[in-house]
Amino acid sequence: MISNSLVELDRQHLIHPLSSFRGHERDGVRVIQSAKGATLTDVMGHRLLDGFAGLWCVNAGYGQESIVEAAAEQMRRLPYATGYFDLGSEPAIRLASQLAERAPGDLDHVYFTLGGSDAVDSTVRFIRYYNHARGMPEKDQFISLAQGFHGSSTVGAGLTALPGFHAGFGVPFDWQHKISSHYVYRNPVGPDPDAIIAASLAELRAKVDELGAERVAAFYAEPIQGSGGVLVPPPGWMKAMAEACRELEILFVVDEVITGFGRTGPIFASSEEDIVPDFITVAKGLTSGYAPLGAVLMADHVYQVIAEGAGDGLIGHGYTYSGHPVSAAVGLEVLRLYDDGLLENGRRAGERLMAGLHGLADHPLVGDVRGRGMLAAVELVTDKAAKTPLPAASQPSKRIFDRAYRNGLIIRAFGNGGLGFAPPLCCSLGEIDEMVERARRVLDETLDDPDIRAAM
Ligand code: PMP
């Protein structure tokens, strides 16, 4: 009864993110009631392994008492303090300093947001301000990658390259440009890493030439493209792009909202290629999803120009909840957990996950298995040689998600027929094996789908 009335209230009043309003009215909500470790329980009592850590965020897993305590203790002592008027709170200061300490190179300055989209927005604001301060206001064109995701705010959605985030929303703006992704499995130049890197470099240079180097402000990339389908660039790709940006005198913004905090192994995935970008954006794993928080890490050379440009004038960019003490206290405790074995456990579990998923490669529907650490995807096709995506008629995103749910597994089901994995880093090897086993069942059931059969 309780769940029925909740479903009805939800239908009538709650707008869900990234949903079909009509589809949701028809299908209703599945209410998640509680969770512990990597296991969710819904109101019907079904237990599910969360192979997606909520939305690539609950890295520490659910029910971590020390995080709950950190939040409660901070709420009791000081639930809110503004950063305006030169005020501040201890957790925000300590968290900024710990992030700066762990960040590569001179990324010494931290601006807190509520999540990833407003972190990306903040980089755009800061970069425009920086170029104004340098007397180069015409340097206001931004480039990002096809299949990239940089948020769902208006500016962020324009940098995002997924069509569903553009259609009907009036974005991208005419100052937001795209170049092709490295997408190894479907790259027109083939899978050779050197050829892919050369093609990306050539395209970036051509785009900068077309727009005029004096007009291009920045290039944005994720170390692994997450929402675009977990697309892993060839080794050396990020470093090559970072060097090209420096040479072309454009800023390099690395969006680590998904890849940060152990998802691929280290705290920052950029460090795997020894890159020092001009900005890093983070969110999600920063608090492990226990409280909303994002951050912009800004290089000192950018910070100094902005600071000089403004002098004693106020820089008009500020959110009410920037540096929220409760979120920051949660972030501090989550960082402690990473150091206290969570990153290490995630590395072990990540090796197991990748090995397990590679074991699915012999399945008739599996075209590609890719990923790094606890971030992975399996891309499905109806014809391996021709790499034919699943037919739209088979509603891959919805039906695959539903099959996984019925098998007690949460995954991300991509629109063209891909299964995305980002389990909590606290998973045991047994839980990882179970996720892979359940995923195999999902593949078998997908193979039995008449709409798939018809396409094979
Ligand atoms: N950047 C990247 C790379 C992301 O994956 C996301 C969210 N999935 C965002 C930005 C936006 O973050 P948020 O949803 O917290 O606004």
| ipTM of this predicted structure | 0.99
Half-sphere exposure of 337 (CA within 13 A, CB side): 29
Residue in the block written with tokens 């660039």: 233
C-beta of residue 399 within 8 angstroms of C-beta of residue 446: yes
224 CB within 6 A, ligand 1? no
Given ligand 1 and candidates 257, 268, 280, 412, which is best to mutate, with the most ligand atoms within 8 Å of its CB? Answer: 257
Residue 108: exposure state from Cβ atoms within 10 A (0-12, 13-18, ≥19): middle
Each residue's pLDDT tens digit, 342-396: 999 999 999 999 999 999 999 999 999 999 999 999 999 999 999 999 999 999 9
Distance, CA 328 to ligand 1 centroid (Å)?
18
At residue 2, the pLDDT reads 55
CATH 3.90.1150.10 placement within the chain:
31-63+341-455
3: confidence class by pLDDT, cuts 50, 70, 90: low
Rg (CA), the chain: 22
CA 70 from chain centre, in angstroms, equals 25
293 CB within 6 A, ligand 1? no
Residue in the block written with tokens 């039906």: 399
Each residue's pLDDT tens digit, 266-284: 999 999 999 999 999 999 9
Cβ-Cβ contacts under 8 Å for 320 (sequence gap 6 or more): 82
Each residue's pLDDT tens digit, 13-26: 999 999 999 999 99
Beta-bridge partner residues of 39: 36, 49
Atom of ligand 1 nearest to the CA of 120: 10
At residue 4, the pLDDT reads 73
DSSP, collapsed to helix, strand or coil, labels residue 37 as: strand
CA–CA separation, 179 and 162 (whole Å): 13
197 CB within 6 A, ligand 1? no
53 CB within 6 A, ligand 1? no
Encoding tokens for residue 149?
Answer: 């995701």
Nearest to 204 by CA among 215, 190, 219, 223: 219
Taking CA atoms only, the protein residue closest to ligand 1 atom 7 is 151
AA identity, residue 83: G
Residue 408: exposure state from Cβ atoms within 10 A (0-12, 13-18, ≥19): middle
Write down the pTM of the prediction: 0.98
151 CB within 6 A, ligand 1? yes
Half-sphere exposure of 349 (CA within 13 A, CB side): 32
Given ligand 1 and candidates 112, 113, 117, which is best to mutate, with the most ligand atoms within 8 Å of its CB? Answer: 117
Beta-bridge partner residues of 419: 378, 413
CATH value of 31-63+341-455 in 3.30.1490.190, 3.90.1150.10, 3.40.190.10, 3.40.1190.20: 3.90.1150.10
CA–CA separation, 70 and 234 (whole Å): 40
Mean of pLDDT values over 158-187: 98
CA–CA separation, 429 and 379 (whole Å): 23
Beta strand 279-282 with 251-255: parallel, antiparallel or unpaired? parallel
- pLDDT, the chain, mean: 97
Mean of pLDDT values over 157-179: 97
DSSP, collapsed to helix, strand or coil, labels residue 427 as: coil
Each residue's pLDDT tens digit, 78-125: 999 999 999 999 999 999 999 999 999 999 999 999 999 999 999 999
DSSP one-letter string for 379-424? EEEEETTTTEEPPGGG-HHHHHHHHHHHTTEE-EEETTTEEEE---
Taking CA atoms only, the protein residue closest to ligand 1 atom 13 is 116
Each residue's pLDDT tens digit, 297-319: 999 999 999 999 999 999 999 99
Nearest to 102 by CA among 243, 223, 260: 260
Encoding tokens for residue 2?
Answer: 């309780």
- Of the given ranges (1-5, 62-66, 191-195), which has the lowest mean pLDDT? 1-5
CATH 3.40.640.10 placement within the chain:
81-323
Strand ranges, E, within 146-248: 176-179, 216-221
CATH value of 81-323 in 2.40.50.140, 3.40.640.10, 3.90.1150.10, 3.40.50.2300: 3.40.640.10
Element (H, E) at 310: helix 300-310
Encoding tokens for residue 356?
Answer: 């397990």
Query: What count of other Cβ atoms lies within 10 Å of the Cβ of residue 2?
Result: 9
At residue 262, the pLDDT reads 98
